[in-house]
Amino acid sequence: MKARAIGMLGLAVVLAGAAVFLARNWIQEQARPVVVQQAAEPENTITVVVAKDRMTFGNTVRKEQLRLVKWPGDAVPEGAFTSIDAVVGTEEERVVLRAIEVNEPVLQNKLSGFGGKASLAAILSPEMRAVTIRVNDVAGVAGFVLPGDRVDILLTRDRSGGAGGTNANNLITDVLLQNVKVLGIDQDANEEKDKPSVAKAVTLEVSPQQAQKLALASQLGSLALMLRNLADAEAEQVKTVSTRDLSVGEANDPPTVAEAPKKAPVRIVTKAKADPFSAVRIVRGTDATSYEVQPDSRPSLALTPPTAKLAPAAPAAAETGSPATGTVVPAGPTFVKPQTAPLGGAGQETLTPGGPQQAPISLLPPELKAALN
């Protein structure tokens, strides 16, 4: 019994010692300082001068504003300096022409030459010119145009040449130039300027030919500026605007009006007018003659009872028939003048064409009257 207890006690001591040993090793491992291996420097590097502090337009370049950094040899920007002495010099100083941010490489095109000044001539791009135009608070976009912005130039003129005074109906507006860089406002060329101010003159960076256009346009009419988005660098196709293009109440984006469906052509059929004349046909044997009588001017036919039977005419003159039967066949219509007065009134002449209906002879054409007489 004692031997078993002694064995159990010895096993517990061994396990406790192992636990203490493992815990001690883990604590030492956590407390060991971490050694950071520095990345190996690129083999092809060049020392470049960068700005230690922010440098603004017109400031003199000082040595304490610069420092040297290692720069990848295949990524060194053009015009970078490799030593601080090359930037500062010994006798004359340089002037900052364009703002330089912290840790930005110092480039030659952002500094003037030794003894130079912060002038427009120093910041002009190669083969470009500076030209100044006169503006006012409206033409200058209320002073919101600042150095470094991009603008379009508008020209408003009288297309008739102004003979006899300016006529509003002859005014037109053209976009003369697009995407022109603003160099300065009045006498301020600092691109760090961020507060708008009403200007009287704006200096632009243009080509020699564009400068000629601006000089001529300033004599022909009035110039105005249109401020552009800096990200919008593409020229647009524009057209000349005249007074005919102005409309009242036109929205910024006029709605698109759908084209109305075309209606099918309607055929107009004109009915022929009724003939205002009534035809009277007279047949004599094998000959037939037609006469026209206006019905609207014809009075109503007078009806008279038959007063006497038609007397047979001489066979040779008016009748033909069979001698065996004695049948009388009229050779044509027989017109008689009745002895009694018609219903239409006394003394009215009527025509009885083989029946009781009668028409006034006075309404018949002269040829028919002559035939009846």
H or E element that contains 353: strand 352-353
Is 366 among the domain residues? yes
102 and 179 both lie in a single domain: no
- CB-based contact 106:80 (threshold 8 Å): yes
State the DSSP string of 93-146: --BBSS-B-TTPBPBGGGB--TT----HHHHPPTT-EEEEEE--TTTTGGGT--
130 and 116 both lie in a single domain: no
pLDDT, residue 254, reads 56
Is 22 among the domain residues? no
d(CA 192, CA 201): 18
Q: Report residue 248's pLDDT band, with 50, 70 and 90 as the boundaries.
A: low
When mean pLDDT is compared over 38-52, 65-79, 270-284, 338-352, the highest value belongs to 65-79
pLDDT tens readout for residues 158-184? 887 666 566 778 889 999 999 999 988
More reliable by pLDDT, 288 or 100:
100
pLDDT, residue 36, reads 56
pLDDT, residue 294, reads 65
User: What mean pLDDT do residues 201-230 have?
Assistant: 91
- 3-class secondary-structure state, position 13: helix
- Our count of domains for the chain comes to 3
159 and 141 both lie in a single domain: yes
223 and 133 both lie in a single domain: yes
Q: Report residue 367's pLDDT band, with 50, 70 and 90 as the boundaries.
A: low
More reliable by pLDDT, 244 or 214:
214
Distances (CA, A) of 268 to 245, 263, 264, 273: 39, 15, 12, 15
Is 39 among the domain residues? no
80 and 145 both lie in a single domain: no
pLDDT tens readout for residues 10-66? 888 888 888 888 888 888 888 776 555 555 666 788 899 999 999 888 888 888 999
Q: Is it the case that residue 207 has pLDDT exceeding 90? A: yes
171 and 115 both lie in a single domain: no
pLDDT, residue 186, reads 80
What contacts 336, CB < 8 A, 6 or more positions away? Answer: 310, 352
- Token duo for residue 144: 């919101």
pLDDT, residue 162, reads 61
143 and 234 both lie in a single domain: yes
- The residue from 56, 90, 120 where one domain ends is 120
Amino acid at 144: F
- The residue from 69, 104, 120 where one domain ends is 120
Q: Is it the case that residue 193 has pLDDT exceeding 70? A: no
pLDDT, residue 191, reads 66
94 and 136 both lie in a single domain: no
**pTM score, whole prediction:** 0.47
139 and 230 both lie in a single domain: yes
Domain of residue 136: give its range: 125-243
pLDDT, residue 152, reads 92
Q: Is it the case that residue 315 has pLDDT exceeding 70? A: no
Is 197 among the domain residues? yes
More reliable by pLDDT, 210 or 324:
210
pLDDT, residue 328, reads 47
User: What mean pLDDT do residues 284-305 have?
Assistant: 61
pLDDT, residue 311, reads 47
Is 319 among the domain residues? no
143 and 222 both lie in a single domain: yes
pLDDT, residue 126, reads 85
User: How deeply is 34 buried, as exposed, middle or buried, from its count of CB atoms within 10 A (0-12, 13-18, 19+)?
Assistant: exposed
When mean pLDDT is compared over 252-261, 274-283, 321-330, the highest value belongs to 274-283
Is 12 among the domain residues? no
Is 194 among the domain residues? yes
What contacts 77, CB < 8 A, 6 or more positions away? Answer: 105, 107
Q: Which of 89, 231, 70 is nearest to 150 (CA)?
A: 231
Q: Report residue 327's pLDDT band, with 50, 70 and 90 as the boundaries.
A: very low
- The residue from 120, 148, 171 where one domain ends is 120
160 and 204 both lie in a single domain: yes
